[in-house]
Structure 1
Amino acid sequence: MANDRLRDAILRNGLTPGAVAEKIGVDPKTVERWITQDRTPYPRHRHAIAAVVREDVPYLWPKAVTPERASKIGQSELLQIYSRRSSVPYDLWGRLIERAEERIDVLAYAGLFLVEQDPQLVDVLRQKGADGVEVTILLGDPTSEAIERRSVEEGAPGLMAAKIGQVQQYYNRLEGAPGVTVLYHDTTLYNSIYRFDDEMLVNMHVLGRHAPHAPVMHLRRLNGGDLFGTYADSFDRVRKASKPQPGGERGEVAA
């Protein structure tokens, strides 16, 4: 059986098996066997190829990384944990946004603090989108039951919908901006997720506590790890169920 994922990844990057072989220092016939016979390379070669074709090792060779090994690598993906969001250094947010070259993802109910702490954020995101960065912002649907339930849990009925209304005034300015998508979800969130390429800040939700007082994990993706991927998959699932307008019909949105 052929390794179609590896073949596709090589072609998508405009490469040939020979070019890959030259980059990682092996015989071209060896790369051909990895593709046509689905041979599994040594770990050092797996990581080298994954870097060349910009894919994860588990995607290219699903059986090569055991769950136990993925879990251990995942532990190294945790760079820092903050006991509360308000403890995350202000300049860290700015650095992560500035360095992003491929994608910026925001999944929250409102995330009002982002535009409050940086009044220029909307302009920055607009420019990022124009520069080729895929910017996706997923906000809570203020008309949904999930939003009101969250407000009640925080002891302030109607507050979350009001916060979303405030943040909409900022993000509405991004309408029509190339590379920028703003959608609405009615999901019960267990975490707010802020992704910047291969780094991520995950703000955990704690019953009865407001988000600024809940812990935040700073993650950086490693090939073969499963912690970063867990939250990246969560973001993608919510995105597929999001909609362009509050109160609109739920359905899959094209990537």
Structure 2
Amino acid sequence: MLKTSATSSGELVNETLRSALAHKGLDQLGLASALQVDPKTVERWLAGRTPHPRSRVAIAKLLDRTEAELWPDVAINRDGPTTRFGPEIRAVYPHRYAVPRQVWYDLFAGAEQEIDILVYSGLFLFEDTRIVQLLTEKAQAGVRTRVLLGHPDSPAVAQRGEDERIGDSVAGRIRNALSLVSPLAGTSGVTLRLHNAGLYTSVCRADDELIATPHIYGVAGAAAPTFCLRKLREQSLFMVYLDSLDQVWSKAEMPTHEFDDHI
């Protein structure tokens, strides 16, 4: 929740913003200089005025905070991310297709130790050659990478096709993904496995950042809501999803020779 206090004149002060500035070693003049705005403008922000969207984005990035932390009452765009949540939830998008491509790219680009991808097909990722190349470069740089795709012949995949009313299209998409992911799967540091799990949530994780897409009956994955999370502690929403991913990984298997034409 936004922390405010009142001055002697009764004017509210955005204490959260002031505290975030202090944590970064910045003062009012420092923020004004960084954003190239008048110091009086910063003074009004600290006094409780909400900056314009472009300034909010710039301030949040500079201070390594989310807009939700600094201005929880900010208006929500119908097709954009919702950010009126606690610090662990960085953003919520109404649909996966509403997540900007750069958000996915930035997630993986920030990885220094581990990348995990748990999906059925993940075509929305693997059709993007820029992302596949980035994942390959990260693995070559020593980032341990685990990729979990659904087994195209598993009952769970068939059921997902029925649930989304698209027949055997999910299995076909997985086989396409296997072909697209083959350059990545052949990279040292990358392990590909096929799972038979009834996938309730797709998860893409890079170190302490995670994007989760819960699947809803009758709704295509691209239309499902999507959450951007970050790890703040061991007992957290982030860890719930990561623990689930690890369970699927422990039961998944390496692709057999029947998929040699695909990978």
Distance 1:83 1:182, change over 3 A: same
**In 2, Cα distance between the equivalents of 1:224 and 1:242?**
25
SS in 2 for 1:181: strand
Q: What's the counterpart of residue 89 of structure 2?
A: 78
Q: Of the candidates 95, 112, 115, which is equivalent to residue 123 of structure 2? A: 112
The answer to which of 187-196 and 84-93 deviates more is 84-93
**In 2, Cα distance between the equivalents of 1:195 and 1:120?**
18
Distance 1:174 1:224, change over 3 A: closer
Taking structure 2 as the reference length, what is the TM-score of the superposition?
0.63
| Mapped pair 1:232 → 2:205 | no
Taking structure 1 as the reference length, what is the TM-score of the superposition?
0.65
Equivalent position amino acid for 1:154 in 2: E
Q: What's the counterpart of residue 170 of structure 1?
A: 180
Structure having the higher helix fraction is: 1
Q: Of the candidates 196, 205, 217, which is equivalent to residue 195 of structure 1? A: 205
Query: Higher relative CO (CA 8 A, sep ≥ 6), structure 1 or 2?
Result: 1
Distance 1:132 1:96, change over 3 A: same
CA contact (8 A) 2:152 2:171 kept: yes
Aligned-pair distance for 1:173?
2.0
Distance 1:143 1:101, change over 3 A: same
Q: What's the counterpart of residue 225 of structure 2?
A: 215
Q: Name structure 2 gaps, 5 residues minimum.
A: 1-84, 259-263
Q: What's the counterpart of residue 149 of structure 1?
A: 159
SS in 2 for 1:120: helix
Identity of paired residues, percent? 35
Structure 2 matches for 1:1-255, cutoff 5 A?
Answer: 75-116=86-127, 118-245=128-255
Distance 1:209 1:130, change over 3 A: same
Aligned-pair distance for 1:155?
0.8
Residue deviations 1:5-59 (CA, integer Å, cap 9, x gap):
xxxxxxxxxxxxxxxxxxxxxxxxxxxxxxxxxxxxxxxxxxxxxxxxxxxxxxx
CA contact (8 A) 2:89 2:229 kept: yes
CA contact (8 A) 2:125 2:132 kept: no
Aligned-pair distance for 1:175?
3.6
Aligned-pair distance for 1:217?
0.7
Equivalent position amino acid for 1:135 in 2: T
Distance 1:82 1:246, change over 3 A: farther
The answer to which of 142-151 and 166-175 deviates more is 166-175
CA contact (8 A) 1:77 1:225 kept: no
Aligned-pair distance for 1:97?
1.1
**In 1, Cα distance between the equivalents of 2:234 and 2:120?**
30
Aligned-pair distance for 1:75?
4.6
Equivalent position amino acid for 2:225 in 1: P
Task: Spell out structure 1 runs of 4+ moving beyond 3 A.
Answer: none
Q: Name structure 1 gaps, 5 residues minimum.
A: 1-73, 249-255
Aligned-pair distance for 1:174?
2.6
CA contact (8 A) 2:126 2:181 kept: no
**In 1, Cα distance between the equivalents of 2:218 and 2:119?**
17
Corresponding residue pairs, total: 174
Equivalent position amino acid for 1:83 in 2: P
**In 2, Cα distance between the equivalents of 1:224 and 1:172?**
34
**In 2, Cα distance between the equivalents of 1:225 and 1:196?**
18
**In 1, Cα distance between the equivalents of 2:251 and 2:244?**
11
**In 2, Cα distance between the equivalents of 1:90 and 1:207?**
25
